[in-house]
Structure formats: structure tokens, C-alpha cells
């Protein structure tokens, strides 16, 4: 979960999710906000992001540096906008998944638990 707003984020930067609710298996690394698959298998990965008021964001769920899902929010008229994605993806042990900003420099992402990133093993392979 994102507790702090993140302002002026550059392109291809990880969105930082500071609050960890569950990390059984130790796959999530909060310092870098990256999930590293501890086991090979099929995973469910989900993210939601809220813009800061009057701001825009373009983010993506990224697997080993490759975009697998995109999110966009466009806050206008003093309001925020939220977007989310959920994917099912096959990961090999050691694969990395993160949420990154894409395409738009100087992005702002809201905290206060409005933005999140999660993943879990659906079945091992």
C-alpha cells in the first residue's frame, strides 16, 4: 500500500509502496518496491493508482523490464482519477515485477492507502 504521496516521478521509475500488509515468502522488497518471485508458477498481480489532484499519470505493471499492463489517470477540475489492472502471469523463480511510471515525466501518485500493489502465487509449477 502507498502511504505517502510521490511527486515528480520520472519515466521508468518504480512507484514506491511503503506499507507491507503481508509478505509471506519474502518476495516483496519494499526498499525498491519490486516483487521477486520466490517460486516458479502462475501468479496474480494487481495494482491501483490514484492521481494527485489535477495531475496525470501513466503507470505499468512491468515484468523483467517489459510492460504487461498499463494504467492511466487524468485528474481535472480539482479532482483525482484512479485506475487499476489485475493480471495472471507465469513467473520463473527470480523474475521481477514492479509498477513503474511510463511515458509522462513529472508524474504524481497519491498515497493515503489509495494506491496499491499486490501479488500472490496462484499455483506453483
Q: What is the 3-state secondary structure (H, E, C) of the chain?
A: CCCCCEEEECCCCECCCCCCCCCCCCCEECCCCEEECCCCEEEEEEEEEEECCCCEEEEEEEECCEEEEEEEEECCCCCCCEEEEEEEEEECCCCEEEEEECCCCCEEECCCCCCEEEEEEEEEC
Condensed to tens digits (0 to 9), the pLDDT of residues 56-87 reads 889 999 999 999 999 999 988 888 999 999 99
Return the pLDDT at 24: 92
Domains and CATH numbers, the chain: 6-124 (2.60.120.40)
The model carries a pTM of 0.92
Return the pLDDT at 55: 84
Is the pLDDT reported for residue 37 higher than 90? yes
Report residue 35's pLDDT band, with 50, 70 and 90 as the boundaries.
very high
Amino acid at each position: 500500500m502507498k502511504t505517502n504521496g510521490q511527486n515528480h516521478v520520472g519515466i521508468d521509475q518504480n512507484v514506491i509502496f511503503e506499507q507491507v500488509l503481508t509478505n509471506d515468502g519474502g518476495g516483496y522488497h519494499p526498499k525498491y518496491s519490486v516483487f521477486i518471485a520466490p517460486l516458479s508458477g502462475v501468479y496474480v498481480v494487481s495494482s491501483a493508482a490514484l492521481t494527485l489532484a489535477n495531475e496525470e499519470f501513466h503507470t505499468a505493471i512491468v515484468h523483467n523490464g517489459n510492460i504487461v499492463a498499463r494504467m492511466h489517470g487524468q485528474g481535472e477540475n480539482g479532482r483525482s482519477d484512479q485506475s487499476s489492472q489485475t493480471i495472471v502471469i507465469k513467473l520463473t523463480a527470480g523474475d521481477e515485477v514492479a509498477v513503474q511510471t511510463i511515458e509522462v515525466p513529472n508524474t504524481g501518485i497519491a498515497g493515503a492507502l489509495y494506491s496499491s500493489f499486490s501479488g500472490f502465487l496462484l499455483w506453483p509449477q
